[in-house]
Amino acid sequence: MDPEPCVSDSGSDGAWEDEGGEEPRARCLFCPSFFSSAEELFCHCTSDHGFNIGMVAHKHGLDFYGYIKLINFIRLEKPTVEFIKSLSTPGPWEEEKYLKPALEDDLLLQFDIEDHLDSTSFSCPNGLTEASPLLQRLKYAEHRAELAEAALARAQEDLQKMKHFAQDFVMNAEVRSSPSTGAIADLCEDEEDVYFSSYGHYGIHEEMIKDKVRTDSYRDFIYQNSHLFKDKIILDVGCGTGILSMFAAKAGARKVIGVDQSEIIYQAMDIIRLNGLEDRISLVKGRIEEVELPVEKVDVVISEWMGYFLLFESMLDSVIYARDKYLAKSGSVYPDICTISLVAIADSSKHADRIAFWDDVYGFNMSCMKKAVISEAVVEVLDPSTLISDSYVIKRIDCHTVSVPELEFSSDFALTITKTSLCTAIAGYFDISFETNCHKRVLFSTSPCCTKTHWKQTAFFLENPISVEKGEELKGRITIHKNRKDPRSLIITLSIKNLKQTYSLQ
């Protein structure tokens, strides 16, 4: 068994000799070559691999510990130089697990990167300051303790914020509205970070993947139209766990680039490697609007961008950006054709449970809550037996030509009533189609009459039900626009028979 390395009293190089008396050698980060020093190795990386440690450290502002994490990340994950160059700050090596050395007595972990942070270039040769493994471990332990204390402080601060938020939410439950117009006030929360954070949790991806209507449709489209993917460059916007990227690779794509801002992309990296597809699939963390891709143009842009009522979350904006910047002139976007439809609902029981309930709550009149409750669109699975009209398409979107301003619109509608009843709500759903240049057209619907999906349907309850007769046309107008203070949520206004109600979908 090798003895523990120690620091010699004289500080000579002999302190690093092993049992055989050989000097330690540093293994290259990107090839099997070995070098006698970190300095020599980094010169090799710069000249042979195009990897300049000084430039990377400068770009990401790496301190001593950030440098350690980067080296261990490269050792463990084996990314390409192109992938590292494409990354924005923070890098995927920020996790604390990368503080643990990937190689025992790695000479690169003894290199003092902080001496070179004031320069964007790394000169060869250069003097190095080597630290002993014992000192290195002490620094690791001290840093981990500091990180733990900081994490505890942040957790306590977050807990306090949550308490204040809960108190404010309860005390301000009523949404301020104008009695004459019914217009609700703009929402105040900035949800951008929360949005991407929510997609960092595995649960939401599990729900989407288990949605067979969704996942089977994408799989069938890709596999049954492999001519669209074979030997092509594919961009997967909002790649999540990478399932669409892997479908594309299996269909013969030459290169697939997946982009996602949420933390789930780190799991996607593991998934790609587990399936042996890392040679064809490259993943980039960040917003598509901010990252630099390793290619100038792609042949296909694919994305599962749809939200509730189709446009909730505004991810189609990002797909449009990717289309305009990266799609080749002869390229295609999928899915390409999308429609939003409305239908009338008669469900007195559900209406009473949601609206009339507030008239008598354990003997107390809480009817003032109705204004707050009625203004919230409800996402739920509707009973198809409650439909009392034919559907009406209020918006058709061609993803090859649509612009971002067109995603805010108004539309007249006329719902042909199929059953004399009391209309208690208007519901919305969407249909998706993969059509352009397809040998096998694939489509799916989120209609209440079809197999349920995780998108469900979106119901807009009427404060006062409307009496309708079979054969009549229930005419109205709907306006959809983004909440200016939270662009990922929607404000929907319905006008029916001289009644006007505004809803929020958030």
- Point out the domain boundary residue: 84, 105, 131: 131
Q: What is the pLDDT at residue 185? A: 36
- Same-domain pairing of 123 and 211: no
Q: Which of 416, 495, 420 is nearest to 462 (CA)?
A: 495
207 occurs within a structural domain: yes
The larger pLDDT score, comparing residue 197 to residue 15, is at: 197
- Same-domain pairing of 241 and 371: yes
The larger pLDDT score, comparing residue 129 to residue 460, is at: 460
Paired with 428 in beta bridges are: 342, 458
355 occurs within a structural domain: yes
- Same-domain pairing of 101 and 214: no
Q: What is the pLDDT at residue 5? A: 37
- Which parts of 421-506 are beta strand (E)? 421-434, 442-445, 457-468, 473-483, 486-496, 499-505
Q: Please give the positions annotated as active site.
A: 304, 313
Q: What is the pLDDT at residue 109? A: 85
The larger pLDDT score, comparing residue 179 to residue 50, is at: 50
Contacts of 216 (CB under 8 A, 6+ apart): none
209 occurs within a structural domain: yes
What's the total number of domains in the chain?
A: 2
Q: What is the pTM of this model?
A: 0.62
- Same-domain pairing of 215 and 67: no
Query: Judging by DSSP bridges, how do beta strands 233-237 and 255-260 pair with one another?
Result: parallel
- Same-domain pairing of 296 and 442: yes
Q: Is the pLDDT score of 21 beyond 70?
A: no
- Which parts of 81-122 are beta strand (E)? none
- Point out the domain boundary residue: 86, 110, 131: 131
Q: What is the pLDDT at residue 204? A: 59
The larger pLDDT score, comparing residue 105 to residue 473, is at: 473
Give the pLDDT band (50/70/90) at residue 214: very high
438 occurs within a structural domain: yes
Phi, psi dihedrals of residue 154, rounded to the nearest 5°? -65, -40
Three-class SS state of 11: coil
Asked whether 413 and 475 are in contact (CB, 8 A), the reply is yes
Residue 79 is part of which domain span? 23-131
- Same-domain pairing of 373 and 224: yes
- Same-domain pairing of 361 and 240: yes
- Same-domain pairing of 311 and 424: yes
The larger pLDDT score, comparing residue 57 to residue 338, is at: 338
| Tokens matching residue 192 | 């951008």
Say which residue the tokens 């064809």 belong to.
Answer: 280
Q: What is the pLDDT at residue 162? A: 65
Q: Give the integer Cα–Cα distance in Å for 76 and 288.
A: 26
Give the pLDDT band (50/70/90) at residue 178: very low
Residue type, 91: G
Query: Judging by DSSP bridges, how do beta strands 281-285 and 392-398 pair with one another?
Result: unpaired
Q: Per-residue pLDDT averaged across 384-404, rounded?
A: 97
pLDDT above 70: percentage of residues in the chain = 77
- Same-domain pairing of 203 and 123: no
Q: Give the integer Cα–Cα distance in Å for 138 and 500.
A: 68
Give the pLDDT band (50/70/90) at residue 145: low
238 occurs within a structural domain: yes
Q: What is the pLDDT of residues 425-457, one digit of tens each?
A: 999 999 999 999 999 999 999 999 999 999 999
The larger pLDDT score, comparing residue 261 to residue 58, is at: 261
Q: Per-residue pLDDT averaged across 139-158, rounded?
A: 59
Angle subtended at Cα 125 by Cα 124 and Cα 130, rounded to the nearest 5 degrees? 120
pLDDT above 90: percentage of residues in the chain = 50
The larger pLDDT score, comparing residue 12 to residue 436, is at: 436
Q: Give the integer Cα–Cα distance in Å for 32 and 13.
A: 24
- The sign one gets for the Cα dihedral 71, 76, 79, 84 is negative
Q: What is the pLDDT at residue 89? A: 79
Q: Which of 443, 426, 435, 217 is nearest to 341 (CA)?
A: 426
Contacts of 386 (CB under 8 A, 6+ apart): 345, 346, 347, 350, 448
Q: What is the pLDDT of residues 460-486, one digit of tens each?
A: 999 889 999 999 999 999 999 998 887
The larger pLDDT score, comparing residue 430 to residue 144, is at: 430
3 occurs within a structural domain: no
Say which CATH number the domain at 210 has. Answer: 2.70.160.11
- Same-domain pairing of 66 and 202: no
- Same-domain pairing of 121 and 200: no
The DSSP symbol for 4 reads: P
13 occurs within a structural domain: no
Q: Is the pLDDT score of 394 beyond 70?
A: yes
- Same-domain pairing of 89 and 205: no
Q: How many residues does the chain have?
A: 506
Contacts of 213 (CB under 8 A, 6+ apart): 444, 450, 451, 452, 453
Three-class SS state of 66: helix
Distance of CA 137 to the CA centre of its chain: 36
Q: What is the pLDDT of residues 218-240, one digit of tens each?
A: 999 999 999 999 999 999 999 99
Q: Is the pLDDT score of 299 beyond 50?
A: yes
- Point out the domain boundary residue: 131, 152, 168: 131
7 occurs within a structural domain: no
Q: Give the integer Cα–Cα distance in Å for 257 and 322.
A: 12
